[in-house]
Amino acid sequence: MRIVLVGPPGAGKGTQAEFIAEHLSIPKISTGDIFRKNVSQGTPLGAEAKKYMDAGDLVPDEVTIAMVKDRISEPDAVGGYLLDGFPRNVAQAKVLDAMLEEIGHCLDMVMELVVDDEEVVRRLAGRRTCRDCGQIWHIVFDPPADPEHCDRCSGALFQRDDDKEATIRHRLEVYNEQTAPIVDYYADRSMLVGVDATGPVENVTGRAIAALRRMES
């Protein structure tokens, strides 16, 4: 099965991608992993991507797409794969369609993890990180005994810039402007399946697996 997983920041894509890929015995393919692998191995595409990454710029679509094409052509992806973090916009989705057609593949499903903006803010803005050991706590879902210090090592806790409300809302604006339109793009092709991503992780996983079973039956 070949799947694209989409959803806003804070929807739990990384966690659910791992569970879904394991359930289906297919590789989870994320652009972040692909970038790191190509850069660490010193491939020509990695060298090209590194120039943009070092400058703090987005890696151009053509480089990203070339990396994805190489990755899904590897032997472990013959039986299917789950794409996490790609495509990020309608232009990439259209190029992905053309690329898959060229190599004789097609997507079986696009799964959207559905969660509203306020829930995303609640999830992400509540995170606190230990300066010493890096442990992440949550003031609501997993609070430390002392709100100022880590239970594990007593290090000082702080809120990362990425976890501040203003930053989260900006990330949501970017997602809604650039990535959310692919939901309609795939819905128009009757490929979209929405999964409620609220509640405990295991409940979300259960809904995702149930959606997969309905698709397979």
Q: Which residues are catalytic?
A: 13, 88, 127, 160, 171
Query: 207 with 17: CB under 8 angstroms?
Result: no
Q: Tokens 């039956």 label which residue?
A: 217
Cα dihedral value 172, 67, 33, 52, nearest 10: -60
End-to-end CA gap in the chain: 13
Spatial distance between the Cα atoms of 45 and 131, rounded to a whole number of angstroms: 35
> Beta-carbon neighbour count of residue 155 at 10 Å?
16
Q: Which residues pair with 4 in a beta bridge?
A: 83, 110
Q: Which residues pair with 3 in a beta bridge?
A: 82, 109
Query: 187 with 171: CB under 8 angstroms?
Result: no
